[in-house]
Amino acid sequence: MSSHREAPEISKNPVADSTDLYAFVSPDKPDTVTLIANYIPLESPAGGPNFYEFGDDVLYEIHIDTKGESEPDISYQFRFQTQLPNPDTFLYNTGPITSLTSSAWNRRQTYSVTRVDGSGVHELGSGLICPPCNIGPLSTPDYASALAGPAVHELSDGSVVFAGQRAEGFYVDLGSIFDLLDLRPFQNLQVYAKALGLQAAPGVNTTAFVNVHSIALQVPISKVTASARPVIGVWTTASRQQACILDSDTGQPVYSGPYTQVSRLGDPLINEVIIPLGKKDYWNTQQPGFDKQFAQYYAHPEVSGLLPALYPGVFPNLAALDKAGTVRADIEAILLTGIPTGIIPGFTNFTGPVQADLLRLNTSIAPAANPNILGLLGGDAAGFPNGRRVFDDIVSIELRALAGLTVPLVDKSFTPDAAAGELTDGLTPADLGTPYLDVFPYLGVPYDGFDHPS
Amino acid sequence: MPSHDAQRASAERAGDPDALAGSPGRRMSRRSVLQGAATAGAVGLAATALGAAVSPASAATRPSSPRGAANAASGPLVVHVRNAKSGDIEVFHGTSKTRVRDKDLAARIARAIG
């Protein structure tokens, strides 16, 4: 998936596992940028009695490079604290949770938001309450207006923040992708599926009824950009203290030492499909500014080599490109530096020559009146890879780019295969189980456990 | 304000990139990261002690201070003997880490675990 369980170590550490990162100019407040970092993959809505929550022992951060040096000029830090008012019951709630101050709610989290920038360390809010998980109509009635809505908090600098459960907004047919890239709409062409006589079929959204935990921040553009530099680079990290002892006397872990990074995420699907298995854990510990060490995997993406092999005769031009050992300068530009001025008329999200996995957003590009889920590939410069909106069809965009559709950006003589412009896992936002919101925090109301028990 | 933030801000103001090496995600100099990568590759003998105080012999290798003593009393220390033979030891406390080289202490810890 975008970055769910994408590396061996972090897959065992879900509260610190960043799953998706979004950055976009807010469509309803275009003088602001919305940043959303999702954590905790594949939450089953009925996963009680210990429902999902952020890690008190995890330092969550959203970093912004404003100067094009792939360094964090601004970092927003989020620290969580769990309260258990009544330790003598096994229940998450002892009755309906009708408000964020309900005494029936027995396991709650609050958090602080700190901004670290060149002027120092600024606490923007503390004691901010998360909403409960969406348990069911009896336990969490009127979830959206009574619980989630009041959990949107204004910070001392005028920004707004939300941290808590949301419906998974990333749509993907995992079952087909990880079954030897057997994209259902094209499985009549896939080498193994074709041998079995399988026919083309619609995609299946694996994440249709799972939740995730979101940290969402809406900040005035002026607070996250440098003067005359509208392009920002965004990434999120999760860090844990280096030493952990499992105290057999108390049954509780004891943490000590400085925080060390265990997860990071900028562009979607990078550690998922660009970085090889042997480097994934290491990649998660690295700073984006050192990503030159991984550039070979962008220059020769494994997926680009797999497509002609798995779909024989469908990608002849891509196969020739691969055979010639051509460096994929288009992928390097899109994912490692941003697209420089002059490549696409009127567009750039170039941050500078430093190769780094950043989600790059040109904040001077206004939200689209009629967004295209294929983003820049669909002629919509307000979408991925110019930042990422919650509805962008990341899977299709990256599949098509890796299949060679974006090679002409750097080599006008190359003709992409016809299939490159059609690749998809067959899904759109219509395959979600619940719609996105039109307003902050934009990701949908989480699925409740009673109505989505499996 | 969390203590490690204060340390980080202080280090930044002081222009000491190496003091920031333990801070994740931000203001890490390339030099400090490369140093970290190099040391992470070292072979270590891990031994940990919860709530144990560094012995006087070990303390003798570093300047002691009333503040240090107060910190030691305020929470657990975790000691990681990276290399018993060379006496390379890390001491974790709060949100900080101190690296010391004390062959005698490492030898006594090794003896203590049998």
Q: Does B110 touch chain A (CB under 8 A)?
A: no
Which residues of chain B make contact with A75, given a CB cutoff of 8 A? Answer: 25-26
What's the confidence (pLDDT) of residue B35? Answer: 34
Q: How much is the mean pLDDT over chain B?
A: 57
Can you tell me the mean pLDDT for B41-68?
A: 36
Domain ranges of chain B: 3-40, 56-112
What's the confidence (pLDDT) of residue A454? Answer: 78
Tell me the pLDDT tens digit for each residue of A418-444.
999 999 999 999 999 999 999 999 999
How would you classify residue B51: left for phi > 0, otherwise alpha for psi between -120 and 50, otherwise beta? left
Q: Does B103 touch chain A (CB under 8 A)?
A: no
Alpha carbon of A257: minimum distance to chain B alpha carbons (Å): 4
In terms of CA atoms, which chain A residue is nearest residue B37?
Answer: A286
Q: Do A247 and B50 touch (CB under 8 A)?
A: yes
Residue B73 pLDDT > 50: yes
What's the confidence (pLDDT) of residue B46? Answer: 40
Which residues of chain B make contact with A243, given a CB cutoff of 8 A? Answer: 48, 78, 80, 92
CA distance A71 to A265: 14
Q: Based on the number of CB atoms within 10 Å of its own CB, is A328 exposed (0-12), middle (13-18) or buried (19 or more)?
A: buried
CA distance A14 to A1: 14
Alpha carbon of A388: minimum distance to chain B alpha carbons (Å): 21
What's the confidence (pLDDT) of residue A4? Answer: 84
Nearest residue to A37 via CA among A447, A360, A390, A356 = A390
Q: Does B48 touch chain A (CB under 8 A)?
A: yes
Alpha carbon of B104: minimum distance to chain A alpha carbons (Å): 23
Can you tell me the mean pLDDT for A112-139?
A: 98
What's the confidence (pLDDT) of residue A5? Answer: 86
The complex's ipTM works out to: 0.75
Q: How many cross-chain Cβ pairs, A to B, lie less than 8 Å apart?
A: 90
Beta strands in A179-277 (DSSP E): 211-220, 231-246, 253-265
In terms of CA atoms, which chain B residue is nearest residue A260?
Answer: B24
Burial track A219-237 (b if 16+ CB lie within 10 A, e otherwise)? bebeebbeeebebbbbbbb
DSSP-assigned states of every residue in A14-61: GGG-EEEEEEEE-TTSTTEEEEEEEEEEEE-TT--SS-----TTEEEE
Residue B41 pLDDT > 50: no
The encoded tokens of residue A304 equal 């680009």
Residue B12 pLDDT > 70: no
What's the confidence (pLDDT) of residue B113? Answer: 83
Positive/negative CA dihedral, A87, A91, A94, A95: positive
Which residues of chain B make contact with A289, given a CB cutoff of 8 A? Answer: 30
Which residues of chain B make contact with A123, given a CB cutoff of 8 A? Answer: 1
The Cα-based distances of A285 to A10, A213, A280, A404, B98 in angstroms read: 11, 22, 9, 30, 21
Tell me the pLDDT tens digit for each residue of A106-125.
999 999 999 999 999 999 99
pTM reported for the whole predicted model: 0.88
Domain ranges of chain A: 10-172+207-431
Q: Do B1 and A257 touch (CB under 8 A)?
A: no
